[in-house]
Amino acid sequence: MVNAYRTELDTRPPTAPREHLTSPVTRAVLRIQNGILRATRDFFAARDFVELLPPIIGPVTDPGTRGSKQVDVDFYGNRYKLMTSAILYKQASLLAFDRIFHVAPNVRLEPLETASTSRHLAEFHQIDVEIAGASAQDVQDVLAGLIRHVVGHVVAEQSTELELLGRDTAALTGFVDRPFGRMSHTNAVAALRKLGHAQDPHAEIDWAAEQVLSHEAGAPFFIVDYPKGSRGFYDRESRREPGVLRNFDLIAPEGYGELCSGSEREFEYSRIVSRMRETGENPAKYGWYLRMVREGIPASAGFGLGLERFTRYVAGLPAVWQASAYPKLPGVVSP
């Protein structure tokens, strides 16, 4: 049965699951997402990664999420959190295996104004990767390889769905053979200021700015070396350039914006405690994590690639909620 009023790419969020799930558009998008996951697992299997099932709850979760609220769970009288990201567990996982990935569900109650950015969901998934002993450059290379592999797979295998969605595949295949560009945070701030955007040099590249840079780009590119004070305590601070983090975002072209954040990680106990204070955290809250770190964890680097955002980019969708079977927009009460 063809859904009469969901045959076009529509930015109105669905009001009922039937309307959304019976739409040919949704079905095509979810098939592409399925292809992305299949290709992702193939990619990592060929490189000796172990897929771990991600944690859903824990005594603490990732605090390094811009302005979003965590969800409390009453765990037998103890306050637990739904995962905003599994970063702390990814570092722990390296005690078992050197190369791991999750396909992890995350819940972040983002500020209300993000409901209209086309790129925020309160519930979403990440392809979460962590590699022991890796540098920021190493994981950027893995990420670029993953993007190329997945995009190549979808373009080759899912032309029917891409055609139904009207996706211009030339925009996807044009960059496949070229290295991804890199721009430092400092240069990104300068470029934005040149374009008349008042970007704070000490802060995260804001959403509007990211979109500006994304529109200017013809291929995915990295923004690297964010300033301390813009990210969580676990992004490693450069020893040669104090105040600069050894981290990166991957920005999609065509205005789709950020797909992924990654970094080398802090792994030394005293550094982590100091960084926790700099990010306003109370170390007492992170008891299990700090005990583990004190006993020693591997140096590592990793990233979290937003699955719905990646799907949106590959499928060429106006809004990220279209890449979820059960979309939850910030502040919008929905199934």
CB atoms within 10 A of CB 280: 8
- Identify which range of 43-51, 68-76, 217-225, 303-311 contacts another protein by CB under 8 A: 68-76
Q: How far is the CB of 235 from another protein (least distance, A)?
A: 12
Binding-residue total with another protein (CB under 8 A): 30
Cα angle, residue 82 at apex, residues 81 and 86 outer, rounded to 5°: 100
Name which position in 112, 156, 195, 332 contacts another protein (CB under 8 A): 112
Q: How many helices (H) and strands (E) does the chain have?
A: 11, 11
Cα angle, residue 213 at apex, residues 211 and 214 outer, rounded to 5°: 60
For residue 306, how far is the Cα from the chain centroid?
4
Output 135 or 274, the one with its CB closest to another protein: 274
* Residue 193 sits in the site that holds another protein (CB under 8 A): no
* Residue 208 sits in the site that holds another protein (CB under 8 A): no
59: helix, coil or strand? Answer: coil
* Residue 115 sits in the site that holds another protein (CB under 8 A): no
* Residue tagged 């890449």 (tokens): 323
Answer yes or no: are the C-beta atoms of 225 and 186 closer than 8 Å: yes
Q: Which of residues 19-58 bind another protein (CB under 8 A)?
A: none
Q: Which of residues 270-289 bind another protein (CB under 8 A)?
A: 274, 277-282, 284-285
Q: Which of residues 212-271 bind another protein (CB under 8 A)?
A: 227-230
Output 110 or 161, the one with its CB closest to another protein: 110
- Identify which range of 27-35, 37-45, 103-111, 264-272 contacts another protein by CB under 8 A: 103-111
Answer yes or no: are the C-beta atoms of 128 and 310 closer than 8 Å: no
